[in-house]
Chains A and B, each alone.
Chain A
């Protein structure tokens, strides 16, 4: 009995060290090669499934925006901003069925977005002011959690809670952003963070004689907090504007915080000049898009093109850009619970991330990147998900020239 206890104590003491050692070994590599599971979704015609509608003039939402959630058995639920349906794929990646998740909405443009898996029982979606919708894995609508603001991102937490990052219009043309933790059963909510911003910087507003308004926006201004869920069900909030990370219990109590100690990338004059050059070189493409995708008259289009040419010089105005890029782009939690913080890179289709230990005390482990041979990875919200030592991603097939993406399952090498 005594020997048994000694062995047990040794295992308890040593195990965390062994666990973190395995993880840190993986991320010590400068590049982690992701190998796509070749037979995953082999029955699907990805090009047909993921191409946007041919009549793009009717499509008001742009960005090829998909979001996925992976159920405990490996099946995947996916939303597509072109359609109100939710797609379901089995654990082999083959398409099974679609569910209509378009709960009656106040806004015609509101389309459900898959956000995650709740309590291993439901997948849930956000749909504008219509709140958080919970569905069982057969697609049956089970519950709606009402909110009075517009959701950006939603994460499941422990103790039957969900965290919602959202915004709402405020007076004086301000926008109020907030992070709210809401109870699934009671609907009680607590706001753990909020801020007021005014989207003036980063925007060039052009008023046209018809009364229409044309807005040109550059990215980098007003980065939003990034949410993640720890292995213990706590909420992780990472702030790209200052590099701070805060960890909250599901009850909304802040447990700890630390700074990522990342050096932000300064925006240089050459970056600004490049933006201006892109804007200037795209005058013809700008006109093409207006002719092809709108019902404006030729007179109106000519005015827009003239105004675009006259105003595009404002892209050289340093005041519309922030002093530096946000400290990071996205945060993710891997299967071990490590925090991966994605950085800005200076090359297209590359990625780089810092790894912080799974105990989330701010201990930096290493910097690495992911690489694949066939795909350009996508690190947008809810498109890069760790699940049982695999990674699920909506990735762009390099052979597709960007015309379509597909659901890919990678084995982490």
Chain B
């Protein structure tokens, strides 16, 4: 058997080889000083790496496959504090609006007839209106659209 490469040595240490290959390499390492030295060096690197991982409290024995980690993150997003706070804020806003909206619930537009009545009652000379005994008449159709408006009073001429 030829001497091992660093990669082969790493796989041997990580037990990622078939049983036959693993036995073959074991016998080679026993008889080859160069491969024995390489084995020691790679083993030393692995142990150092494990040491570093332990600092971050990573269980090197049971690191799940990446795919499982991603799926786990997907299912947990709805329980994150940011999401919960967002939902709470939306609920609060909706409750507030449901309380306040009825007080600001006003029609989108003023009807023409209302405009006519308000303008004529508010803008004309009130003293003249009173002395003329003015009666304001407005007629709106079923859609609340102004059809006709005029004033009747005690004058002889038609009052507009």
- A residues near B, CB below 8 A? 52, 56, 59-65, 106-107, 109, 128-129, 150, 152, 167-171, 175-176, 199, 210-220, 222-224, 274-275, 278-279, 282, 285-286, 289-290, 293-294, 296, 304, 315, 325-326, 329-330, 342-349, 351, 378-381, 401-402
Q: With A109-B112, A285-B158 given, is the CB distance from A325 to B117 under 8 Å?
A: no
Asked if B135 and A278 sit within 8 Å, CB to CB, the answer is yes
Counting chain A CB atoms within 10 Å of each CB, the highest count among B113, B121, B149, B158 belongs to: B121
Closest to B160 in A: A62
Determine the chain A residues whose CB is within 8 A of the CB of B116 once the complex forms.
60-62
Q: Mark B126-152, 1 if CB is under 8 A from A, else 0.
A: 111111111111111110101111111
Determine the chain B residues whose CB is within 8 A of the CB of A285 once the complex forms.
152, 158
B45 at the interface (CB under 8 A from A): no
Asked if B115 and A150 sit within 8 Å, CB to CB, the answer is yes
For this complex, 11 residue pairs linking A to B, each with C-beta atoms less than 8 Å apart, are: A128-B115, A129-B109, A169-B107, A217-B117, A219-B126, A219-B134, A222-B121, A293-B150, A349-B128, A380-B123, A380-B124
Determine the chain A residues whose CB is within 8 A of the CB of B122 once the complex forms.
152, 224
**Complex-state Cα separation, A281 to B2, whole angstroms:** 129
Closest to A401 in B: B157
Asked if B160 and A278 sit within 8 Å, CB to CB, the answer is no
Asked if B126 and A61 sit within 8 Å, CB to CB, the answer is no
**Complex-state Cα separation, A167 to B121, whole angstroms:** 13
Cβ contact of A290, chosen from B121, B124, B148, B153, cutoff 8 A:
B148
Count A-B pairs with CB separation below 8 Å.
Answer: 166
**Complex-state Cα separation, A220 to B122, whole angstroms:** 10
Closest to B149 in A: A62
Asked if B130 and A344 sit within 8 Å, CB to CB, the answer is yes
Determine the chain B residues whose CB is within 8 A of the CB of A304 once the complex forms.
139
B119 at the interface (CB under 8 A from A): yes
Asked if A220 and B130 sit within 8 Å, CB to CB, the answer is yes
Asked if A56 and B140 sit within 8 Å, CB to CB, the answer is no
Tally B residues with Cβ within 8 Å of A.
52
Closest to A292 in B: B158
Determine the chain B residues whose CB is within 8 A of the CB of A282 once the complex forms.
135, 152-153
Q: Considering the complex of A and B, which 9 residue pairs feature the smallest CB-CB distances, nearest first?
A: A211-B142, A278-B133, A282-B152, A329-B126, A219-B129, A217-B136, A348-B131, A169-B107, A329-B127
Asked if B133 and A171 sit within 8 Å, CB to CB, the answer is no
**Complex-state Cα separation, A381 to B126, whole angstroms:** 10
Determine the chain A residues whose CB is within 8 A of the CB of B114 once the complex forms.
169, 175
**Complex-state Cα separation, A377 to B50, whole angstroms:** 104
Closest to A169 in B: B107
In the assembled complex, the CB of B113 is this many whole angstroms from the nearest CB of chain A, namely 7
**Complex-state Cα separation, A223 to B124, whole angstroms:** 12
Q: With A217-B117, A223-B126, A348-B128 given, is the CB distance from A60 to B112 under 8 Å?
A: yes
In the assembled complex, the CB of A399 is this many whole angstroms from the nearest CB of chain B, namely 14
- B residues near A, CB below 8 A? 102-103, 105-107, 109-110, 112-142, 144, 146-155, 157-158, 160
Closest to B147 in A: A294
Cβ contact of A275, chosen from B117, B135, B140, B146, cutoff 8 A:
B135
Q: With A56-B160, A294-B148 given, is the CB distance from A215 to B121 under 8 Å?
A: no
Cβ contact of A212, chosen from B107, B126, B139, cutoff 8 A:
B139
Determine the chain B residues whose CB is within 8 A of the CB of A60 once the complex forms.
112, 116, 146, 149
Cβ contact of A219, chosen from B113, B121, B141, B142, cutoff 8 A:
B121
Beyond the given A109-B115, A169-B110, A215-B137, please list 18 additional residue pairs across the A-B interface where CB-CB is below 8 A. Answer: A52-B160, A62-B151, A63-B124, A150-B115, A211-B141, A211-B142, A218-B136, A219-B121, A220-B126, A224-B122, A274-B133, A275-B133, A278-B154, A286-B137, A286-B152, A293-B148, A329-B125, A342-B127
Asked if A216 and B109 sit within 8 Å, CB to CB, the answer is no
Q: With A52-B160, A218-B135 given, is the CB distance from A106 to B130 under 8 Å?
A: no
**Complex-state Cα separation, A224 to B121, whole angstroms:** 9
Determine the chain B residues whose CB is within 8 A of the CB of A346 once the complex forms.
131
Cβ contact of B120, chosen from A62, A293, A330, cutoff 8 A:
A62
Determine the chain A residues whose CB is within 8 A of the CB of B153 once the complex forms.
278, 282
**Complex-state Cα separation, A379 to B125, whole angstroms:** 6
In the assembled complex, the CB of A239 is this many whole angstroms from the nearest CB of chain B, namely 14
**Complex-state Cα separation, A214 to B147, whole angstroms:** 10
In the assembled complex, the CB of A264 is this many whole angstroms from the nearest CB of chain B, namely 13
Determine the chain B residues whose CB is within 8 A of the CB of A167 once the complex forms.
118
Asked if B113 and A106 sit within 8 Å, CB to CB, the answer is no
Asked if A279 and B106 sit within 8 Å, CB to CB, the answer is no
Asked if B142 and A216 sit within 8 Å, CB to CB, the answer is no
Determine the chain A residues whose CB is within 8 A of the CB of B113 once the complex forms.
215
**Complex-state Cα separation, A299 to B116, whole angstroms:** 26
Q: With A65-B119, A215-B117 given, is the CB distance from A279 to B135 under 8 Å?
A: yes
**Complex-state Cα separation, A286 to B150, whole angstroms:** 9
In the assembled complex, the CB of A5 is this many whole angstroms from the nearest CB of chain B, namely 51
In the assembled complex, the CB of B150 is this many whole angstroms from the nearest CB of chain A, namely 5
